[in-house]
Structure 1
């Protein structure tokens, strides 16, 4: 049995190379296709192909879930599986912005046990295991020391922001939206934001690595009922989720999410 630290070392190395592959397409007008209203580029496919090849060669019995390729079940008797978004924030990537990342997690018994977010255009690598500290470039990170008497600093999609602004605008400072949900969770984990709301219909690959990194940094990602999200080997969309420092999550849950 590989330890979470073993798995973190593997996915960190694989994500770093996937980031280098993606940088080869960044700001170079890669070919783009559309999945409904969502773009996917040749950079996404190239990074995904690398991750699938390297990770399943090293852990052939693990399962596989990715935004860009078909799911593969785990081998007999194996509970662990990879959850991968080869480029989270493709829209930002295609606009030449820096806030996109490679997101890779290993799930065991329904929860992430190792996770990495590699943002190569920013030179930032976030990582965590289920029994270790969350780090940014190998230095420990922690969520904000949130106090209920001050305003929340949040980032979220504009549609959610407008509704929350109408209902609770006097209690919130809104930072600019960050299209990459994974990187937004990393910003919360590193104390740059107090929290964020995750819109319904996001997928497990958008949140798995960030969920663990946030948890190990002292924060939480929870459902509207306050319970953690559980991951299973079938790709799954979910309802509205709340992420943040402990106090921020409590206040957002108190809002009842009627504005989400």
Structure 2
């Protein structure tokens, strides 16, 4: 089944890219979501609409969870569910940056089985199917094999370095870098360009689902901040943070967290 779904997700991602890039980020109509949930643009909504129409037509028995679709509990009774972020990194899209991504995944009984993260402005398409490895533009990718956290670069927001997050009351001495899209952070870790990534806040499933499988299939690990396995299609679609990376560095980060 993962191999059956992956070509569908790849085609959908490329279609989403054509739709999104037909808008101009800085001039696309935008709104602010209630409760400080961030911006949404007409491009987000257009991509969501075309993905929902195309994917659900191809797999009418799959459920649907998307950042830009009002959620309900219908998906909880489905064996398989699409988990979608039409544009991950909407602020970057609005600013005219090229680091936003389409994140598209399928979960089966809580486990991601097929996934794509696509950055159309960079022509980078990351893909994975459960048990079949991960690729970037069809070439196999692997996570970094560095074993020392202190010599590693970790993708994380500045608040993750606050003392209260760490057992030693200070963060380990790794180098911090940042990218706004969580899906892209996970993909960059899978590619081996960074040793690990982490977000310690509760994180929406649609930001994480695709990238988590890609990182894992590239030989890394992807867990919540406590080291527990990630499970998807939850009634409350938020995860308890995410830590992902090459095996040794990922384990060291989790062990150091309070």
Q: Could you say if the C-alpha distance between residues 218 and 101 of structure 1 is closer, same or farther in structure 2, counting changes exceeding 3 Å?
A: same
Matches for 1:55-70 after TM superposition, within 5 Å: 55-70=55-70
What is residue 23 of structure 2 aligned with on the other side? 25
1:180 and 2:181 aligned: yes
Offset of 1:105 from its aligned partner? 0.2
Offset of 1:74 from its aligned partner? 4.8
TM-score (norm 2): 0.92
After superposition, give the CA deviation of every residue in 1:78-102 in whole Å (9 maximum; x if it has no partner): 4001000000011111111111100
Cα distance in 2 between the residues matched to 1:56 and 1:75: 16
CA contact (8 A) 1:195 1:245 kept: yes
CA contact (8 A) 2:62 2:80 kept: yes
Cα distance in 1 between the residues matched to 2:102 and 2:86: 5
Cα distance in 2 between the residues matched to 1:224 and 1:150: 19
What is residue 231 of structure 1 aligned with on the other side? 232
Cα distance in 2 between the residues matched to 1:167 and 1:75: 40
State the superposition RMSD in angstroms.
Answer: 2.0
Offset of 1:162 from its aligned partner? 5.1
Cα distance in 1 between the residues matched to 2:75 and 2:106: 12
Offset of 1:160 from its aligned partner? 1.6
Secondary structure in 2 matching 1:197: strand
| Segment drifting more, 10-19 vs 160-169 | 160-169
Cα distance in 2 between the residues matched to 1:238 and 1:149: 24
| Segment drifting more, 117-126 vs 25-34 | 25-34
CA contact (8 A) 1:65 1:235 kept: no
Offset of 1:167 from its aligned partner? 1.5
In structure 2, list runs of 5 or more residues that go unmatched.
none
CA contact (8 A) 2:200 2:225 kept: no
- Number of residue equivalences: 252
- Choose which of 163, 166, 170 in structure 2 pairs with 1:167: 170
| Segment drifting more, 46-55 vs 235-244 | 235-244
